[in-house]
Amino acid sequence: MDLVDQLNHIFYPRAIAVVGASDNPKKVGFMCVKSLLEAGFGGKIYPVNPDLSELFGLKGYPSVTDIPGEVDLAIIAIPAQLTIPVVEDCVAKGVKGTIMLTSGFKELGTQIGLELQDRIRDVADKGEMKIVGPNCLGVVNPQVNLNATFGVELGLINPGSVAVAAQSGAVSQYIADALTSNNVGISKFISMGNRCNLYFDEMLEYLAQDEQTRVIVMYIEGLERPRQFMSVAKQVARRKPILVYKAGRNEKLNQASLSHTGALAGNYELYKAVFTQTGIIAINGMTELVDVTKALAFQPPSSGNRVAVLSGGAGPGIIMADKCHELGLRLAEFSPATLLQLRQLISPLNPVDNPVDLAWVSGNFDACREVLKVVIEDDNVDMLATAGAYIYRQLGLMRAIVDISGCYRKPLAFACLYTLVGEDDAEIAKLEENSIPVYPLPDRVVTGLAGLFKYGKILNTTD
Amino acid sequence: MDLVDQLNHIFYPRAIAVVGASDNPKKVGFMCVKSLLEAGFGGKIYPVNPDLSELFGLKGYPSVTDIPGEVDLAIIAIPAQLTIPVVEDCVAKGVKGTIMLTSGFKELGTQIGLELQDRIRDVADKGEMKIVGPNCLGVVNPQVNLNATFGVELGLINPGSVAVAAQSGAVSQYIADALTSNNVGISKFISMGNRCNLYFDEMLEYLAQDEQTRVIVMYIEGLERPRQFMSVAKQVARRKPILVYKAGRNEKLNQASLSHTGALAGNYELYKAVFTQTGIIAINGMTELVDVTKALAFQPPSSGNRVAVLSGGAGPGIIMADKCHELGLRLAEFSPATLLQLRQLISPLNPVDNPVDLAWVSGNFDACREVLKVVIEDDNVDMLATAGAYIYRQLGLMRAIVDISGCYRKPLAFACLYTLVGEDDAEIAKLEENSIPVYPLPDRVVTGLAGLFKYGKILNTTD
């Protein structure tokens, strides 16, 4: 059975056993069943616990082997020292995927923990069964209403095109939370944990072929198979952008990473150099992670770094131009024809050489539409950074962007006032329905565009 | 009349004339009156327009001099070429403050624009009248429900302790929007515009003595009186933190700034060096601006840079430690006594040397409270960076932080899951009511703390 088949049992299960299911609301085994039910999972759920005849109206079973039908996925939430016979049961039952939430393995840094992890790995390997974890939060696939985690709230993740695979369960939650609040949907969510027989390189391979996934985001503290990872990443990066936040960036931190999920962290500068060679986009902060991910999920990569900056009011344009400068993007130099046309479209009082101050014109749909067309059709322009301002004025610009969206291949992103807008949320939603990423601050637009240029460069590298 | 008296007429007016008031909803003169009314301004409002007998039930007057009672503040929204007689009227009437929304002055870069601005300045100076603007959005003082802008939505700004003075009206709106969405209240909001006879140094002087203002945030493209500004800033920085986002950071951008509100922008590196000497906190991005402002508005400055990192789940702790490293903060080395006590309080499976992984303990109020006390009382610790994770677990930590808040002088900030939490918003609100700044991402906690350390250093500089 190949890797994709194995992992499809985990991401698209028809029947799930929850080993350690419990009627005690404080137990992980209770939360898991609750997560599955609340997210509206449509397949079969089998609580497994010798002391439990029923949970939420579902019949309980003493062991996995007692379950009458087939089981695709087993979620295991029992103490570490009890896991071996359960993994053996799963193999005997023909289960091909498990999620081992339990901690107390390699991450302890003890001989006992290490040996226990090796033993469950050996049993699983023999049975051609993949284990997510141990010591993890689980897996979510919003496309099929699967919340196979002990975080009930993860059922609120919206389906989308971004896959998130994170070593730390807590960080995976923060990423999901931040993407959700920035209206970025998720295709697959995986808390990787200790990675006993399912490694980052394999997850990359799976996500590369996953049709729901357009962008791959990873939070990595350390890799146990760095060569395989870079080798797979080099291939995948040609097909989908891979963003990696590599954590544990100094000596002291490397120790923390080591004791966390049990992998050697290594020198960050070394990692960064290898990432660049491999075609991985290295991410330095969590807000940058959100901004670049959003741009890549909504817009095509950029073949060049010449940015046209258009804003309602000069200030946001200057901030965006500053950020271009900081991130190695260039302000496009408009052609004489473009300048001439802009001069006719925009008030003579406002600058039209890049950045363009739309000023009062930003309230005028027709004028904004013309300005956008003139600028986007200029051969000296690769990308458009746009920002609104003054609620009643920015509407014209917003609607004009919606109108031209989809007509051009050049990336465009937009910033606008968010919290104070009240009823304008519908306008923001319309932009995003039309694949325009909207940001609450102008410099974040440029962070997004810089990511599109980085990925464009990766695609254009010929080796 | 001194500066404070003059500006009090603008920020605390009892009677306001709106010159150019209009019944056309598309006109700035309409929006201004609407803004005043919708924000619930309690004083008198006089629409001024020879063609308007009444607006929103308010009696209209042909000119400012026709108004029967005293007028503290005149908001002027008429074409530039008509402004001189109106400014003369205001002086004749004894008005001490005006807000000139009109554009078409120095920012044009034309001789006519420049001369017009000089003329209104001369008239105002003779009458001891200050002008906010021209070419601005106006002023908001949420404390007295004053929204003297043409942005009706700015009435939604919450009162608080942060003053925002920005050269660009559009940027001032973005800052207000971002602070509001991050639950940071505003004391005074000023769109400075062209600064014809009211300069950044004067605004700084006013905000320094303003009791509502604890933190001063400025967006500056260029300064026309740099020496005065630095001289005032040097004094004020000892009393209140001054954060400056200096925009227009390369040659091309300096041009854009120049044409925007008519001031020379200058070399950014030079500005930055002078800011540091002066005790100004230089801000590089809009998200950093929000994070540092929030920390300074909620917490005391820090005397040292040794950070204790505590998180529910190791990953957020590693991210926070990474950020400490990046921003020049150090991970505190706990005393042997602290380590011993932490070892007893926290599961033997989790690291207790800094960063501390609270893991399951983070759901336990009593244990979290003890951990926090042990760590905060350690003499080797200057600040606490804390983060929750797993909704049902982070509550114990959140409540423990609330419990100890106010008992210690050491700064503390907290990150937690935000969007996916649902009903936990009340817990977040409780933290912020107790002056704990809450951030949606762990690295943003550290950005905030780094600001507290920067300001602590400024206070400790003896010269």
Give the span between the Cα atoms of B247 and A442, in whole angstroms. 13
Q: Which residues contact B152 (CB under 8 A, 6 or more apart)?
A: A391, B31, B34, B35, B38
CA distance A85 to chain B (A): 23
The answer to whether residue B181 scores a pLDDT higher than 60 is yes
The reply to whether residue B286 touches residue A441, judged by beta carbons under 8 angstroms, is yes
Q: Find which of A28, A112, A189, A253 to mutate to test the B interface (most B CBs within 10 Å of its CB).
A: A253
Chain A contact probe: residue of B289, B441, B444, B446 with most A CBs at under 10 A: B441
Query: Rounded to the nearest 5°, which phi and psi values hold at A337?
Result: -65, -45
Prediction pTM value: 0.95
The whole-angstrom separation of Cα B213 and Cα B209 is 8
* pLDDT score at B351: 76
pLDDT digits (tens, 9 = 90+) for B361-374: 999 999 999 999 99
CB contact under 8 A, B104 and A154: no
Smallest Cβ–Cβ distance between B419 and the set A180, A250, A316 belongs to: A180
Mean pLDDT of A6-28: 97
> How far apart are the CA of B150 and the nearest CA of chain A, in angstroms?
9
Confidence grade of residue A461 (pLDDT, cut at 50, 70, 90): confident
User: Residue B61 and residue B18: Cα distance in Å, rounded?
Assistant: 10
What pLDDT, on the 0 to 100 scale, is given for residue B312? 92
Q: Do A176 and B420 touch (CB under 8 A)?
A: yes
Confidence of residue B41 (pLDDT cuts 50, 70, 90): very high
Whether the predicted pLDDT of A265 surpasses 90: no
CA torsion through residues B89, B90, B91, B95, sign: positive
Give mean pLDDT, residues B301-321: 96
Q: Is the distance from CB of A259 to CB of A302 less than 8 angstroms?
A: no
Q: CB A170 to CB B318 under 8 A?
A: no
A225, A199 in Cβ contact below 8 A?
Answer: yes
Task: Characterize the bridge pairing of strands A73-76 and B215-220.
Answer: unpaired
β partners of residue B387? B311, B415
Q: Of B304, B277, B310, which is closest to residue B450 (Cα–Cα)?
A: B304
Residue B84 and residue B96 in contact, taking contact as beta carbons nearer than 8 Å: no
Report the percentage of chain B scoring pLDDT > 90.
85
Where along chain A do the CATH 3.40.50.261 domains lie? Answer: 157-298, 301-461
Query: B154: which chain A residues are within 8 Å (Cβ-Cβ)?
Result: 420
In the sheet that A138-141 helps form, which strands lie side by side, from edge to edge?
A146-149, A138-141, A186-191, A159-166, A215-220, A242-246, A281-283
For residue A66 the two structure tokens come to: 């007692």
Which residue of chain B is at minimal alpha-carbon distance from A289? B441
Tell me whether residues A441 and B167 touch, CB distance under 8 A.
no
Q: What is the mean pLDDT of chain B?
A: 93
The candidate with the shortest Cα–Cα distance to B49, out of B86, B13, B96, B84, is B86
Cβ-Cβ contacts under 8 Å between A and B: the total is 233
Residues of chain B neighbouring A221 (CB-CB closer than 8 A): 315, 318
Nearest-Cα distance to chain B for A322, in Å, is 6
d(CA B105, nearest CA chain A) in Å: 10
* Whether A38 contacts A152, CB under 8 Å: yes
The pairing of strands A15-19 and A73-76 is: parallel
Of A177, A257, A389, the CB nearest to B173: A389
Helix/strand/coil for B264: coil
Question: Which of A38, A293, A386, A419 to probe the B interface (max B CBs under 10 A)?
Answer: A419
Task: Give contacts of A443 with chain B, Cβ < 8 Å.
Answer: 285-287
Asked if A209 and B306 count as a contact pair (C-beta separation under 8 A), the reply is no
How far apart CA A111 and CA A116 sit, in angstroms, is: 9
B171/A355 touch (CB, cutoff 8 Å), yes or no: no
Task: Give the residue, B103 or B423, on which the prediction is more confident.
Answer: B103
Q: What is the DSSP letter of B322?
A: H
Percentage of residues in chain A with pLDDT exceeding 70? Answer: 95
Question: Which candidate from B180, B260, B317 shows the least CB-CB separation from A318?
Answer: B260
Q: In the predicted model, is pLDDT for residue B256 greater than 70?
A: no
Residue B264 pLDDT exceeds 50: no
Give B-chain residues touching A170 at CB under 8 angstroms: 311-316, 387, 389-390
Using the predicted structure, report yes or no on whether residue B254 has a pLDDT greater than 60.
Answer: no
Average pLDDT over residues A204-210: 98
Q: Between B157, B253, B418, which is nearest A177 by CB?
A: B418
Alpha-carbon gap: B442 to the closest alpha carbon of chain A (Å) = 8
**B282 pairs with which residues across the strands?**
B244
Q: Write down the residue that tokens 């029947």 correspond to.
A: A15
Backbone dihedral region of B172: left (phi > 0), alpha (psi from -120 to 50 degrees) or beta?
A: alpha
pLDDT band, residue B53 (cuts 50/70/90): very high
**Partner-chain residue, chosen from A181, A417, A440, that has the shortest CB–CB distance to B440:** A181
- pLDDT > 60? residue A413: yes
Q: Are A207 and A213 in contact (CB under 8 A)?
A: yes
pLDDT beyond 70 at A463: no
Q: Which two tokens stand for residue B270?
A: 């030079």
Q: List CB contacts of B153: < 8 A, sequence separation 6 or more.
A: A391, A417, A420, A421, A422
Q: What angle do CA B323, B329, B331 make, to 5 degrees?
A: 85
pLDDT of residue B296: 98
Residues near B98 by beta carbon (within 8 Å), at least 6 away in sequence = B10, B73, B74, B75, B76, B87, B90, B124, B129, B130, B131, B132
- What the block records as the tokens of B32 is 């201004």
- Separation in Å, CA of A291 to nearest CA in chain B: 12
Q: What is the pLDDT of residues A311-329, one digit of tens each?
A: 998 999 999 999 999 999 9
Which CATH number among 2.40.70.10, 3.60.130.10, 3.40.50.261, 3.30.830.10 corresponds to the domain B301-461?
A: 3.40.50.261
Distances (CA, A) of A86 to A41, A45, A299, B153: 24, 17, 46, 60
Mean pLDDT of chain A: 93
- Residue of chain B with shortest Cα separation from A109: B349
The answer to whether the complex's ipTM is over 0.90 is yes
A260·B318 Cβ contact <8 A: yes
* SS3 at position B168: coil
Lowest mean pLDDT: which of A91-95, A388-392, B404-408?
A: A388-392
- Per residue in B113-138, pLDDT tens? 999 999 999 999 999 999 999 999 99
Specify whether the CB–CB gap between B442 and B416 falls below 8 A: no
Question: Can you tell me the distance from the alpha carbon of B93 to that of A445, in angstroms, rounded to the nearest whole number?
Answer: 47
Which regions of A225-339 does DSSP assign to beta strands (E)?
Answer: 242-246, 281-283, 306-311, 330-331
Report whether CATH 3.40.50.720 matches the domain A1-134: yes
pLDDT at A264 over 50: no
What topology is assigned to A157-298 in CATH? Answer: Rossmann fold (3.40.50)
Q: Do strands B186-191 and B130-132 pair parallel, antiparallel, or not at all (unpaired)?
A: unpaired
d(CA B183, CA B262): 33
The DSSP output letter for B187 is: E
| In A377-461, alpha helices (H) | 391-404, 425-433, 442-460
pLDDT in tens, A216-261: 999 999 898 999 999 999 999 999 999 999 998 875 555 555 455 5
Beta bridge partners of A310: A356, A386
Phi then psi for B131, rounded to 5 degrees? -115, 120
Q: Which residue has the higher pLDDT, B422 or A48?
A: A48
Q: A151 vs B390: CB contact, 8 Å cut-off?
A: yes
What's residue A257's pLDDT? 53
- Element (H or E) spanning A166, and its range? strand A159-166
Six-digit token string for B163: 């003053």
Amino acid, res. B270 = L
Q: How many helices and strands, by DSSP H and E, does chain A display?
A: 16, 20
Q: What percent of chain A has pLDDT over 90?
A: 85
Cβ B151–A391 below 8 Å, yes or no?
yes
**Chain A residues close to B419, C-beta within 8 Å:** 156, 177-178, 180-181
Q: Identify whether the C-beta of residue B382 lies closer than 8 Å to the C-beta of residue A141.
A: no
> Is the confidence at residue B263, as pLDDT, over 70?
no
Is the per-residue pLDDT at B260 higher than 60? no
Give me the residues paired with residue A15 across strands.
A44
Instruction: Indicate whether A424 pLDDT > 80.
Output: no
Cα–Cα distance, B194 to A336 (Å, whole number) = 30
Q: Could you say which of A286, A389, A419 has the minimum Cβ distance to residue B180?
A: A419
In the beta sheet, which residues pair with residue A282?
A244
| B249, B421, B422 member nearest A325 (Cβ) | B249
Is B248 close to A318, i.e. CB distance below 8 A? Answer: yes
Question: Average pLDDT, stretch B316-333?
Answer: 96
- Among A260-274, B130-144, B441-455, where is mean pLDDT lowest? A260-274
Contact B389 A178 (CB under 8 A): no
A311-315, B418-422, B446-450 — most confident range: B446-450
- Of A349, A275, A308, the closest CA to residue B259 belongs to A349
Q: Do B247 and A420 touch (CB under 8 A)?
A: no
Provide the pLDDT confidence category of residue A57 given band limits of 50, 70 and 90: very high
Query: Which residue among A168, A221, A315 sits closest to B168, beta carbon to beta carbon?
Result: A315
Interface test with B, best of A103, A417, A425, A428 (most B CBs within 10 A): A417
CA contacts within 13 A on the Cβ side of A123: 21
Q: How confident is the model over B253-278, as a mean pLDDT?
A: 68
Q: Which of B180, B245, B291, B318 to mutate to test the interface with A (most CBs of A within 10 A)?
A: B318
**Which one of A28, A190, A322 makes the best mutation probe of the B interface by having the most chain B beta carbons within 10 Å?**
A322
Binary contact (B321, A178; C-beta < 8 A): no
